[in-house]
Structure 1
């Protein structure tokens, strides 16, 4: 009879044994190019998307980002692309209070990180087709689609090196707010057994080697059930969030580590 070994990491199907851990299976992403387009939205409409214990931060900021991840250690050097949507929030639990970002959704174009992120970290990841970003006449673009129907297009133009004051302001704005958070919710079965309903934080470390700022633009596409039967309600809800004001967009290049021994993924209290 197969038995789970204490202290080992398992994912479904668990009966084949624990996840392989060996040389080169670190959490480092050695080559990450990212585009981030933040905007101010309607406070009440954003609040309606947050679960209990979460509230909108001082400013109702939503950040849409694209990341082209290459040379990923735990994928034996392979890579994948992602487009995520974060909300600036405050978490108020029974014993702790955190300021940070709440993951509304992340699209990725590879099953492995989707399954790992959902099972281990409770991150709301789903699939989309997503090519690498393009650069044409200084304009950066990225997009995602599913079943051949466009979901979102990102664009950043007018890129320039940031001023020292802008860098200092960005660092100050992030102080004490480096807390990415998610909601791991798995419905109970039809027989009434309990599911999962908990909040998590999944810290990471980013090493930026190059940064540019510019003007961002987003184009969401509204979809029908026939076009995208499992995601149309997600896309349409995000498309309905009003863009009241774009904030400075960024293009960055560097590396990231998603496995920090001193700050592991944990349940919020």
Structure 2
């Protein structure tokens, strides 16, 4: 009869044994190309999507990030694309007080990181078909779709080298809010009540080899149930957040490490 080892890490289906580990595996994403498009939105409308203990930061910034992840150690060199939407927030719990970016949703085009991110870190990951980015005459572009229906387009153009003031401002902002935050929610059996409900943080580190600043835009589609029956309400909610001001966008190339021994993912309270 199969029994769980309390000292091992499991994921469903657990009866086949612990998660496979390899000496070649690590948290490093060796080759990451990203587009980061932030904008200021209406704080009241944004707050409708934040759970208790989270509040909109002083500046109501929503950030849409595309990342082309390649040469990933824990995936034996395989890769995937993602498009994430996060909001600048403050968290005030009984034990923890943090500022960072709250994950509203993260689309990925591979099941493996979706499952591990949802189950182990509480990141709200769901599936979409995500195009590899294209670069035509200096114009960067990608898009996501599901069931053959477009979710969004993300674009960055007019790229230039960042000024020293922009570099310093980015470093200051990162230092103040280096806490990716999420709500790890799993419903009870049959979908009613909850089996797990806890807030999490999942730090990472980024090494950037090349950074450019430009003009970014995100264009959302309005969808109906027949087009995307499991996600249309998410897409339409994000499409309904007004863009009050586009902030400078970033195109970057570098690497990312998701496992920092002294700052492992944890529950915050």
User: Please, what TM-score do these two structures have when normalized by structure 1?
Assistant: 0.98
Q: Does 1:106 align with 2:106?
A: yes
1:176-204: per-residue Cα shift (whole Å, max 9, x none)?
Answer: 31000100111122598850000000000
- Quote how far apart the aligned CAs of 1:165 are: 1.1
SS at match of 1:117: helix
- Quote how far apart the aligned CAs of 1:78 are: 0.3
**What corresponds to 1:231 in structure 2?**
231
SS at match of 1:175: helix
**What corresponds to 1:203 in structure 2?**
203
Mapped partners of 2:89, 2:191: distance in 1: 35
Runs (4+) off by over 2 Å: 189-194
Q: Does 1:244 align with 2:244?
A: yes
- Quote how far apart the aligned CAs of 1:104 are: 0.1
SS at match of 1:90: strand
- The 1:190–1:66 alpha-carbon spacing in structure 2 relative to 1, beyond 3 Å, is closer
Mapped partners of 2:125, 2:79: distance in 1: 16
Where in structure 2 are the equivalents of 1:73-92 lying within 5 Å? 73-92=73-92
1:195-232: per-residue Cα shift (whole Å, max 9, x none)?
Answer: 00000000001001100000001100010100000000
**What corresponds to 1:138 in structure 2?**
138
**What corresponds to 1:54 in structure 2?**
54
Structure 2 unaligned blocks of 5 or more: none
Q: Does the 8 Å contact 2:154/2:217 carry over to 1?
A: yes
**What corresponds to 2:36 in structure 1?**
36
SS at match of 2:83: strand
**What corresponds to 1:171 in structure 2?**
171
**What corresponds to 2:120 in structure 1?**
120
**What corresponds to 2:13 in structure 1?**
13
1:123-155: per-residue Cα shift (whole Å, max 9, x none)?
Answer: 000000012100001000010000000000000
Mapped partners of 1:123, 1:42: distance in 2: 24
Q: Does the 8 Å contact 2:63/2:87 carry over to 1?
A: yes
Mapped partners of 1:152, 1:66: distance in 2: 11
Q: Does the 8 Å contact 2:187/2:193 carry over to 1?
A: no
RMSD (Å) for aligned C-alpha atoms? 1.2
SS at match of 2:2: coil
Mapped partners of 1:123, 1:242: distance in 2: 24
**What corresponds to 1:97 in structure 2?**
97
**What corresponds to 1:162 in structure 2?**
162
1:10-65: per-residue Cα shift (whole Å, max 9, x none)?
Answer: 10011101111122110100000000000000000000000000000010000001
Q: Does the 8 Å contact 2:70/2:77 carry over to 1?
A: yes
- The 1:251–1:93 alpha-carbon spacing in structure 2 relative to 1, beyond 3 Å, is same
**What corresponds to 2:22 in structure 1?**
22
Mapped partners of 2:192, 2:39: distance in 1: 41
**What corresponds to 1:258 in structure 2?**
258
Q: Does the 8 Å contact 2:185/2:194 carry over to 1?
A: no
